[in-house]
A and B are shown apart, each in its own frame.
Chain A
Amino acid sequence: MASKALNLRWLTHVVIIVIGCFMLYPIFWLISSSFKPAYLIFSDVRLWPAEVTLDNYAKGWAGIARLKFSTFFANSFIIAILSVIGNIIGCSLAAYAFGRLDFSLKKFWFALMMMTIMLPHHVTIIPQYILFRNMDWINTFFPLVTPKFLATEAFFIFLMIQFVRGLPRELDESATIDGCGTFRIYWRIILPLMVPALITTSIFTFIGAWDDFFSQLLFLNSADKYTVPLGLRLFMDSSGASSWGPLFAMSVLALVPCLIIFFALQKHFVEGISTTGLKG
């Protein structure tokens, strides 16, 4: 009986690992191909290449037609970091008001905010494009970053409200007695206590902005403003069969920031997803 249970347990592990390897195979293949010389990429199936080279990385990083890949990375980082700052400021201000303060029409505004969570971007994107075009913001980072400062990603507001509601009210009350104003309570008490929610927000905002393709495709149109996703696409379209190696190498680099964040902040990831159902 005991040995049967033990065998079953081993079997479960084996099944899980086999499926897991199968799932990760494409990514391993991508990484392995990025180190292979061009003539081996599609003829050598083995994950451990017969011949290892860094040529692909050197060629890819040098970029195409005077455009260095480092430019794309710098642009992506600027956008992603500004997006994170924007979401933290904009959403936490709104979340504090909804979660803690009392004001007229609160229920109405709250319901409106909740409704925008599920709204497809497409019903607003065309007028937004026209608006940004009239402001001469096309081909700048403003259309990508400004909306975050204006808390348009209601999802994160909701996430923070849930968190704020869980904080003991006595803290605010004693701070009020000590003479703290509303803003100081937000800044000195609520915000520091909200750090876990802020981390979750930062993670998903960063990854969202890093992987965002649709908005960047719309609003950025000169190659010196291109981000990593646009750079990869440019690379793919303009390169022949011979340069799959550099393309794969740059694809690997494009995945690295997300992987680092994921492994550094795993706990927040799982909590963020299981408590809020983030990111489908």
Chain B
Amino acid sequence: MKLIHLYNNEHNGGTRLSNVIVKPRGIIPSFKRLWKKNAVPYLFLLPWFLGIFILTLGPMVSSFYLSFTQYNILSPAEWVGIDNYKKMFDDDRFLKSLKVTFTYVFTSVPLKLSCALLVALLLNKGIRGLSIYRTIYYIPTLLGGSVAIAVLWRKMFGLEGIVNQFLLNVFNIQGTDWIANPKTALYSIVLLSVWQFGSPMIIFLAGLKQVPLEYYEAAQVDGANKMRQFFTITIPLLTPVILFNLVMGLIGAFQAFTQSFIISGGTGGPIDSTLFYTLYLYMKGFAFFEMGYASAMAWILLLVIAIMTAVIFGTTKYWVNYGDGGK
């Protein structure tokens, strides 16, 4: 029986004939069999294997090792144990970059998701021209990651920018230089991120389309008003989508770089108020050539992201609704 089984496996489902005829060939040497089964698929995977070993796993091991060394690319790496990790907690700029990044993540992600959900609800009312509106609302997301838009933002929120002109003309308020003011600089970048709510909006729209209309009809029969329907039907059924958008948003936000780099002119200023974690990592690694320290920072970033994701997934049983009514 076992032989038949092996033989069939080798043929990947095989023909019906082989179910009855057991040939002695079923016991071909295992190496040969492995070769026959794997040679072609592994050939297809060859580029991916090269990539994952040379550009992903190898560098990960190497970066982990470097994080315990002092290394400036010119002289050999010098083992310093956990010094890099210890140094971080005395490094004011590192702590500042953590604070800036957490502030950014915890303001931009919830705001972005709220805007995305609100607009998705607005667009999901079965109105005409949905695809045109969807396009309009997606354009900022399409363009927002570029240096061109960051340049625009920097000028819009400058002293003479349109934001201040608008405030002056409409409300007669003289605004500050939002980019040069350490109190507001970070929030101008938050706003730039919130402005790009197009992707989560499209995902929310796809999720809203999945909600069966009968649920609302039944609720209406039971006398539930719109507000109640929203909180007892829409939101619970949307929780898997919210979870997805939340996790993707957080992971993306922790790695934000380009916008802060351009808007602060590569400095993280004024007085480090937009010193994002990745910007500081870049400075440490590629401006000061403290590559050991920068590697340690990269691992802390990975750790922070992993913990955040784990915490969110740990809480899903309290708020995410999978499938039909918790079967």
Contact A270 B146 (CB under 8 A): no
Q: Which residue of A lies closest to B302 (CB)?
A: A123
| B129 surroundings in chain A (CB, below 8 A) | 13
Does B96 have its Cβ within 8 Å of any Cβ on chain A? no
| A97 surroundings in chain B (CB, below 8 A) | 41-42, 44-45, 48
Contact B60 A258 (CB under 8 A): no
The 8 Å CB contact of A116, one of B47, B52, B136, is B52
Does B162 have its Cβ within 8 Å of any Cβ on chain A? yes
Q: Which residue of A lies closest to B9 (CB)?
A: A102
Count chain B CB atoms within 10 A of each CB in A15, A90, A237, A273 and give the residue with the most.
A273
CB distance from B173 to the nearest CB of A (A): 15
Known: A12-B127, A254-B148. A27 touches B122 (CB 8 A): no
Residues in A115-129 with C-beta less than 8 Å from chain B: 116, 118-129
Does B99 have its Cβ within 8 Å of any Cβ on chain A? no
Contact B199 A277 (CB under 8 A): yes
What residues of chain B have their CB less than 8 Å away from a CB belonging to chain A? 12, 34, 37-38, 40-42, 44-48, 50-52, 54-56, 58-60, 62-63, 66, 73, 119, 122-123, 125, 127, 129, 131, 133-143, 145-149, 151-156, 160-162, 165-166, 169, 195, 199-200, 202-203, 205-206, 244-245, 248-249, 251-252, 254-255, 257-258, 261-262, 265, 278, 281-282, 285-286, 291, 294-295, 297-299, 301-302, 305, 309
Contact A147 B51 (CB under 8 A): yes
Q: Which residue of A lies closest to B205 (CB)?
A: A274
The 8 Å CB contact of A236, one of B37, B62, B151, B249, is B151
The 8 Å CB contact of B51, one of A30, A90, A98, is A90
Does A74 have its Cβ within 8 Å of any Cβ on chain B? no
Known: A93-B47, A254-B147. A278 touches B139 (CB 8 A): no
CB distance from B300 to the nearest CB of A (A): 10
| B58 surroundings in chain A (CB, below 8 A) | 127
Residues in A11-53 with C-beta less than 8 Å from chain B: 12-13, 15-16, 19-20, 23-24, 26-27, 29-30, 42, 45
Contact A121 B41 (CB under 8 A): no
| A119 surroundings in chain B (CB, below 8 A) | 56, 302
The 8 Å CB contact of B195, one of A23, A150, A218, is A23
Cβ-closest 6 pairs across A and B: A150-B51, A127-B59, A251-B148, A274-B206, A280-B252, A103-B41
The 8 Å CB contact of B156, one of A16, A26, A151, is A26
- Chain A's interface size range is 35 or more
Contact B151 A247 (CB under 8 A): yes
Contact A127 B199 (CB under 8 A): no
Q: In the complex, A13→B151 CA distance in Å? A: 32
Known: A19-B119, A128-B59, A254-B147. A113 touches B48 (CB 8 A): yes
Q: Which residue of B lies closest to A157 (CB)?
A: B48
Q: Which residue of A lies closest to B53 (CB)?
A: A150
| B282 surroundings in chain A (CB, below 8 A) | 214
Contact with B along A147-184 (1 / 0, CB 8 A): 10111100001000000000000000000000000110
Q: In the complex, A214→B256 CA distance in Å? A: 10
| A188 surroundings in chain B (CB, below 8 A) | none
**Secondary structure of the B contact surface, majority rule:** helix
Contact B44 A258 (CB under 8 A): no
| B62 surroundings in chain A (CB, below 8 A) | 127, 130
Known: A16-B123, A29-B162. A126 touches B47 (CB 8 A): no
Contact A94 B195 (CB under 8 A): no
Count chain B CB atoms within 10 A of each CB in A26, A109, A217 and give the residue with the most.
A26
CB distance from A156 to the nearest CB of B (A): 11
Residues in A213-269 with C-beta less than 8 Å from chain B: 213-214, 217-218, 228-230, 232-233, 236-237, 244, 247-248, 250-252, 254-255, 258-259, 262, 266, 269
Known: A218-B286, A280-B199. A20 touches B265 (CB 8 A): no
The 8 Å CB contact of A213, one of B153, B156, B244, B257, is B257
| B137 surroundings in chain A (CB, below 8 A) | 20, 23
**Secondary structure of the A contact surface, majority rule:** helix
CB distance from A238 to the nearest CB of B (A): 12
The 8 Å CB contact of A12, one of B38, B42, B122, B265, is B122
Contact A258 B48 (CB under 8 A): no
Q: In the complex, A100→B150 CA distance in Å? A: 43
The 8 Å CB contact of B56, one of A23, A152, A230, A266, is A152
Q: In the complex, A237→B81 CA distance in Å? A: 40
| B123 surroundings in chain A (CB, below 8 A) | 16
| B119 surroundings in chain A (CB, below 8 A) | 16, 19
| B252 surroundings in chain A (CB, below 8 A) | 280
CB distance from A181 to the nearest CB of B (A): 8
Q: In the complex, A223→B34 CA distance in Å? A: 52
Does A186 have its Cβ within 8 Å of any Cβ on chain B? yes
Q: In the complex, A221→B124 CA distance in Å? A: 48
CB distance from A16 to the nearest CB of B (A): 5
Known: A26-B152, A280-B252. A122 touches B298 (CB 8 A): yes
Contact B45 A93 (CB under 8 A): yes
| A150 surroundings in chain B (CB, below 8 A) | 47-48, 50-51, 54-55
CB distance from A148 to the nearest CB of B (A): 9
Does A57 have its Cβ within 8 Å of any Cβ on chain B? no
Contact B142 A258 (CB under 8 A): yes
Contact A103 B37 (CB under 8 A): yes
Q: List 28 A-B contacts (CB under 8 A).
A: A23-B136, A27-B139, A27-B140, A30-B148, A42-B161, A45-B165, A45-B169, A90-B47, A96-B44, A103-B41, A119-B56, A119-B302, A122-B255, A123-B60, A124-B59, A124-B60, A124-B63, A127-B62, A131-B59, A149-B47, A150-B50, A150-B55, A248-B155, A252-B148, A255-B146, A258-B146, A259-B143, A262-B139
